[in-house]
Amino acid sequence: MKYEFMNDKSKADKNTDLALTGMGALAKLIGIAIPPVNALTIITDNIKDRRNRKRLDRLIKLIQCLDRRLTQVEDKIPETPDLDLFDEIIAKAVSEEDEDKTELYAALVQYWIEHTLVSYEVRLLGSAIRELTVDEMKCFYEFIVTGSPKRIRIIPELLQEVFWNRIVSLGLLGGVGHFDQINSVNVTKLGRKLFEIYQLSGKAK
């Protein structure tokens, strides 16, 4: 019984050593000196601070984009705008990891005001921007322009099926039975709106 206790203690010590080694490696990964004490607190605070700085930078960039865009549609802004919906878009944009999408979220706000979209459409379009990468949106745009899925080169061939399944699941393309059946005539109204937002964002240049 004593041996088992010692064996358990040995395992616990080994696990502690591994945890400390892992904590040190994590500290090194995020660019801070290996802390002698309170490693977890220092590392989490560092990550939080970095993420908060990134979010603040994205918010500033988004406001600058919106300032430029909303000046163009000032006369169309409703007297009682849906501020909750606007806050949702801002939250998506600020929490977005890909800074290249900031202009897309700003274009979504402009498009919403210009075309008086219902809140459900805005939420679906916001989700599509959030879920798709910039490259995937570019591919979807080029697919509509060319009318053919076979001209898409950015997405690796092995991931083409995954890409089209994502496009269909987001409601941007009508369900098709096989890759060979994909055609731009199957693009939904929501898909057309995302196409126009992508154009409006300036990404299509």
pLDDT at 53: 81
Does 36 reside within a domain?
no
* Span 118-148, pLDDT tens digits: 999 999 999 999 999 999 999 999 889 887 7
The mean pLDDT value for 159-184 works out to 81
Does 157 reside within a domain?
yes
Q: By residue range, what is the domain housing residue 66? A: 55-201
pLDDT at 16: 44
Does 15 reside within a domain?
no
Share of the chain above pLDDT 90, in %: 32
Q: What is the sign of the dihedral through the CA atoms of 116, 121, 124 and 125?
A: negative
Q: Are 201 and 107 in contact (CB under 8 A)?
A: yes
Q: How far apart are CA 105 and CA 201, in angstroms?
A: 8
Does 131 reside within a domain?
yes
Closest alpha carbon to 154 in 177, 131, 132: 132
Does 30 reside within a domain?
no
Question: Domain total for the chain?
Answer: 1
Amino acid letter for position 44? T
pLDDT for residue 3 is more than 60 = no
Contacts 24+ apart (CB under 8 A), 199-202: 199/141, 200/107, 200/110, 200/111, 201/103, 201/104, 201/106, 201/107, 202/103, 202/107
Does 27 reside within a domain?
no
Interior angle at CA 50, CA 47 and CA 54, nearest 5: 135
Does 166 reside within a domain?
yes
pTM for this model (two decimals): 0.75
pLDDT at 18: 42
